[in-house]
């Protein structure tokens, strides 16, 4: 069943239920109020008759007195203790079918006679403080029957009109509400068929649930598109970057095939080149895998790290291998953070590797802390980075001087991996550099575990 039909059906059934409840209440209330008014009136008449008869104010026949009080379509009877009718006047003989009763305790009662309701009231006539007779007035409620008919007709007509209006209103309302949903379904079907991500046009400025839903959908599509674009960019960048070493390997292999058998110098040069390109490719592949896994899973093996021994441990082997001065400058108090040790090690190695590659002099590592934040600054006095390139230095595969990397063997992935790891720890990385003078990279990390605040950088 369609949503529109469902909505219409539910509202109509609910309206029907309300109407039945309301109409029944109105019907019974009307009858009750009318009957009560009529009962009051008849009882007052009965009391007047009783007074006249007891006081003997009126001379003449009792029937005449009763006749003077006789309402339309009614019967007045005086009944004695033995339920015998002593006097009776009527202008509607059919009312004689109503059995007389002396039970004055039942002050009033309603009976059905033919198509009408007959209201009977009883008023006692007292003599010397005892009830001796009872005046019984029964009236056919003709006016009530007519009013009830009119009321039923009015209730029926208004109910039919209400249901019809509700059906029309429901159809219009569901069409109005469901239009944006139909549009969304249409767009989603389009996406499913073509595979092209599309946004839903949001017409209204209203902040209702449907426009929020459309906005959320659009946000989701944008994110998917963004991820899709990034993935495509990544694949094309990676294949482009891998193509260069492969071309070099291919050309040297070709050289070797043609002339290498005789030329020993060419053999050595080719093998060296092929070897270094293969190493570069291996490193780049590993970095690409690192990046892919970093983007995929965001899990960290968090533990306490004392930054001073940690930095010392990373720098020591580099000092020995590269025979370079790597100085550690640290405060008196220990600086302890909560982080993934393996990943932080990777970050430090990436930054030290850059400092080693792009400078010749000493390298300094500053460890410090301020409020809730720990800082590691790696400073070199090397070639530096041009100012206008600082903003894009963290992008994947970005290198300042494409020619420069051939000697240094970089692939432009180091800094983007470092940035990713630092942001996984809710930290920040900042690079300051001056061409020809040197570079300093500062990592800022929260000291507290799972801290998500903004860094001081
Ligand atoms: N300390 C530094 N001094 C001068 N230039 C630097 C420094 N660190 C980074 N750069 C520049 O930024 C570029 C990007 O650095 P990144 O570490 O991302 O890549 P890479 O060093 O070229 O290669 P790898 O992926 O092997 O690290 C480098 O190519 C280099 O031009
Ligand atoms: Mg690097």
Q: Which pLDDT score is estimated for 353?
A: 94
Q: Sort 105 into a burial class: Cβ within 10 Å, 0-12 / 13-18 / 19+.
A: exposed
Q: How far is the CA of 291 from the centre of ligand 1 (A)?
A: 16
Helix (H) or strand (E) holding 256: none
Q: CATH number for the domain including 142?
A: 3.30.450.20
Are 310 and 378 in the same domain? yes
Strands in 130-140's sheet, in edge-to-edge order, are 85-90, 74-80, 130-140, 116-127, 108-113
Q: CATH number for the domain including 422?
A: 3.30.565.10
Q: Which pLDDT score is estimated for 238?
A: 82
The answer, yes or no, to whether residue 87 has pLDDT greater than 80, is: yes
- Please report the atom of ligand 1 found closest to the CA of residue 413: 25
pLDDT digits (tens, 9 = 90+) for 259-296: 877 888 888 888 998 998 899 889 888 888 888 787 77
Are 33 and 89 in the same domain? yes
Segment among 167-181, 396-410, 423-437 with least mean pLDDT: 396-410
Q: Is residue 454 part of a domain?
A: no
The fraction of the chain above a pLDDT of 70, given in percent, is 94
Q: Which pLDDT score is estimated for 452?
A: 47
The token pair that represents 68 in the structure block: 């003077």
What does the angle CA 311 – CA 313 – CA 316 come to, to the nearest 5 degrees? 100
Confidence band of 204 (pLDDT split at 50, 70, 90): low
Residue closest by Cα to atom 26 of ligand 1: 410
Number of Cβ atoms within 10 Å of the Cβ of 50? 18
The token pair that represents 46 in the structure block: 């009965």
Nearest in space to 301 (alpha carbons), one of 336, 349, 345, 342 = 342
Q: Is residue 191 part of a domain?
A: no
Q: Which residues contact 284 (CB under 8 A, 6 or more apart)?
A: 241, 242, 245, 411, 413
b/e sequence 251-270, b meaning 16+ C-beta within 10 Å: ebeebbeeebeeeeebeeeb
Q: How far is the CA of 274 from the centre of ligand 1 (A)?
A: 23
Q: Is residue 25 part of a domain?
A: yes
The answer, yes or no, to whether residue 366 has pLDDT greater than 50, is: yes
Q: CATH number for the domain including 289?
A: 1.10.287.130
Single residue among 253, 280, 297 that ends a domain in this structure: 297
pLDDT digits (tens, 9 = 90+) for 284-341: 888 888 887 877 766 788 999 999 999 999 999 999 999 999 999 999 999 999 999 9
The answer, yes or no, to whether residue 61 has pLDDT greater than 80, is: no
Q: Is the CB of 412 under 6 A from ligand 1?
A: yes
Are 12 and 117 in the same domain? yes
Number of Cβ atoms within 10 Å of the Cβ of 414? 21
- Please report the atom of ligand 1 found closest to the CA of residue 287: 25
Are 269 and 228 in the same domain? yes
DSSP 136-166: EEEEE-HHHHHHHHHHHHHHHHHHHHHHHHH
The answer, yes or no, to whether residue 420 has pLDDT greater than 60, is: yes
Single residue among 94, 120, 151 that ends a domain in this structure: 151
126: three-class secondary structure by DSSP: strand
Are 340 and 361 in the same domain? yes
- Average pLDDT in the chain: 87
Q: How far apart are CA 102 and CA 79, in angstroms?
A: 6
Confidence band of 19 (pLDDT split at 50, 70, 90): very high
C-alpha count within 13 angstroms, C-beta hemisphere, residue 275:
6
Q: How far apart are CA 202 and CA 183, in angstroms?
A: 10
Q: How far apart are CA 414 and CA 432, in angstroms?
A: 16
The answer, yes or no, to whether residue 116 has pLDDT greater than 80, is: yes
The answer, yes or no, to whether residue 227 has pLDDT greater than 50, is: yes
Are 30 and 96 in the same domain? yes
Segment among 342-351, 405-414, 438-447 with least mean pLDDT: 405-414
The residue-averaged pLDDT of 102-121 equals 85
Q: How far is the CA of 418 from the centre of ligand 2 (A)?
A: 9
Q: Is residue 456 part of a domain?
A: no
Q: Which pLDDT score is estimated for 455?
A: 46
Q: Is residue 170 part of a domain?
A: no
Q: What is the pTM of this model?
A: 0.57
Are 140 and 212 in the same domain? no
Cβ(14)–Cβ(79) below 8 Å: no
The answer, yes or no, to whether residue 407 has pLDDT greater than 70, is: no
Are 327 and 420 in the same domain? yes
Number of domains forming the structure of the chain: 3
Are 224 and 94 in the same domain? no
Ligand 1 mutation pick, 291, 358, 390, max ligand atoms within 8 A of CB: 358
The residue-averaged pLDDT of 216-222 equals 89
The answer, yes or no, to whether residue 57 has pLDDT greater than 60, is: no
**Enclosing domain of residue 265:** 197-297
Are 286 and 385 in the same domain? no
Confidence band of 55 (pLDDT split at 50, 70, 90): low
Cβ(66)–Cβ(53) below 8 Å: no
Q: Is residue 177 part of a domain?
A: no
Are 39 and 104 in the same domain? yes
Q: Is the CB of 393 under 6 A from ligand 1?
A: yes
230: three-class secondary structure by DSSP: helix
The maximal CA–CA distance of the chain, rounded, in angstroms, is: 162
Residue closest by Cα to atom 28 of ligand 1: 399
The answer, yes or no, to whether residue 235 has pLDDT greater than 70, is: yes
- Please report the atom of ligand 1 found closest to the CA of residue 359: 3
The answer, yes or no, to whether residue 399 has pLDDT greater than 50, is: yes
Q: How far is the CA of 188 from the centre of ligand 2 (A)?
A: 43
Are 41 and 138 in the same domain? yes
Specify the higher pLDDT residue, 33 or 290: 33
Q: How far is the CA of 354 from the centre of ligand 2 (A)?
A: 5
């Amino acid at each position: 069943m369609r949503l529109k039909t469902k909505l219409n059906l539910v509202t109509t059934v609910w309206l029907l239920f309300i109407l039945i409840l309301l109409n029944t209440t109105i019907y019974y209330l009307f009858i009750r109020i009318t009957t009560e008014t009529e009962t009051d009136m008849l009882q007052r008449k009965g009391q007047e008759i009783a007074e006249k008869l007891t006081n003997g104010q009126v001379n003449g026949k009792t029937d005449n007195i009763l006749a003077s009080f006789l309402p339309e379509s009614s019967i007045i009877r005086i009944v004695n203790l033995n339920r015998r009718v002593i006097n009776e006047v009527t202008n509607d003989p059919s009312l004689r079918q109503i059995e007389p009763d002396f039970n004055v305790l039942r002050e009033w009662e309603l009976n059905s006679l033919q198509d009408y309701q007959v209201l009977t009231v009883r008023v006692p006539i007292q003599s010397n403080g005892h009830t001796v007779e009872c005046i019984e007035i029964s009236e056919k409620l003709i006016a009530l029957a007519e009013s009830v008919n009119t009321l039923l007709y009015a209730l029926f007509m208004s109910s039919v009109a209400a249901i019809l209006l509700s059906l029309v209103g429901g159809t219009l309302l569901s069409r109005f509400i469901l239009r944006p949903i139909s549009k969304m379904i249409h767009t989603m079907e389009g996406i499913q068929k073509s595979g092209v991500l599309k946004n839903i046009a949001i017409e209204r400025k209203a902040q209702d649930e449907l426009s929020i839903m459309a906005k959320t959908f659009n946000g989701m599509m944008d994110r998917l598109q963004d991820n899709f674009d990034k993935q495509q960019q990544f694949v094309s960048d990676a294949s482009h970057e891998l193509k260069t070493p492969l071309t070099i390997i291919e050309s040297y292999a070709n050289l070797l095939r043609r002339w290498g058998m005789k030329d020993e110098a060419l053999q050595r040069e080719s093998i060296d080149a092929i070897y270094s390109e293969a190493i570069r490719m291996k490193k780049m592949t590993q970095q690409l895998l690192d990046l892919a896994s970093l983007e995929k899973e965001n899990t960290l093996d968090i533990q306490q790290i004392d930054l001073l021994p940690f930095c010392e441990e990373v720098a020591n082997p580099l000092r020995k291998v590269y025979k370079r001065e790597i100085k550690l400058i640290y405060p008196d108090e220990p600086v302890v953070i909560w982080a993934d040790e393996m990943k932080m090690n990777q970050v430090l190695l990436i930054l030290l590797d850059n400092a080693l590659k792009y400078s010749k002099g000493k390298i300094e590592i500053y460890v410090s802390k301020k409020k809730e934040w720990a800082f590691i600054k790696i400073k070199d006095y090397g070639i530096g980075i041009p100012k206008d390139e600082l903003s894009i230095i963290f992008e994947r595969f970005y290198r300042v001087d494409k020619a420069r990397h051939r000697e240094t063997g970089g692939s432009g992935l180091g800094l983007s991996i470092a940035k990713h790891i630092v942001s996984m720890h809710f930290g920040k990385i900042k690079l300051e550099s001056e061409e020809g003078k040197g570079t300093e990279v500062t990592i800022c990390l929260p000291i507290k575990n799972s801290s998500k605040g903004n860094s001081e950088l």
